[in-house]
Amino acid sequence: MFNDDGMLGRSSNSEHPRWSIWQSFLIIGIVWGFSSFLSGFAAAADNLVGYTLIIYLIQFACYGLIPFYIVCIHYGHKPSSLGFKFDREKLHLVIHFGAIWGIYLYVLNVLITIFQGLIFPGYEYNLQSILQIIQSAKNSWEIAALVVCIVILAPISEEIFFRGFLFTAIKARFGRRIAIFASAVIFSLLHFDLWVLLPMFVGGIGFAYIYDKYGNILLNIFAHIVWNSIALSLFFRILRLI
């Protein structure tokens, strides 16, 4: 199911990355600083949707655009150094394997969450915050904006940053295995929820493995879009039942 028989090629990048790991942590600090600063205004204004949308836009700018600037403009690398490899003849393969990996990783995520629930029956995953954001949308435009941010912008920016930028920098310094593990740890920790720590860690390992295997960030992005689309569709389904 996951064997492309070499049709997609393998991860190969002749350019040694000149950016550093510390630049990744600098970007994380910028995102965290802006988020913390704006959280106070959001509470005062009682505008949860507006705050959420702004945070997504900040994350897209910092996780998506800043790495692109550092890699391609500051250091003069090609976009392929971040995994941007577009081949129209292989686009259907990117979509095909991206969908398979996205579904597989989401199902694995759900199974791990269920397993956690069996071990810790007194602790349940808190859906309230996510449902509260969706429910607080005042019109269809706000709902559409949330969908675009969750399904499109978040996967693009997170894959560029965590896999194309962070994983590549760690791999160049410490090797493949440490890069997969470390990038997954950071990916899970930045979701700021103890209950999703393990599922996101396993998901981070999966996404890092995919990027290391294929070296194509577009495949990663599509797999992440599939993951988030399934999750968001289930959230909307829950809203209809309550």
Q: 129-149 pLDDT, tens per residue?
A: 676 777 778 888 888 999 999
As a whole number, mean pLDDT of residues 53-58 equals: 91
**Residue of 24 and 113 predicted with greater confidence:** 24
Query: Does the pLDDT of residue 60 top 80, yes or no?
Result: yes
- Say what percent of the chain tops pLDDT 90: 57
State the sign of the Cα–Cα–Cα–Cα dihedral 187, 208, 101, 221.
positive
What would the two tokens of residue 147 be? 């969908």
Q: Where are the alpha helices (DSSP H) in the chain?
A: 21-45, 48-59, 66-68, 91-119, 128-135, 140-148, 154-158, 168-174, 176-189, 197-214, 217-241
Mean pLDDT, the chain, as a whole number? 86
As a whole number, mean pLDDT of residues 96-104 equals: 95
Task: Tell me the per-residue pLDDT of 104-125, one tens digit each, with 9 for 90 and over.
Answer: 999 999 899 888 877 776 555 5
The pTM of the full predicted model, rounded to 2 decimals, is 0.90
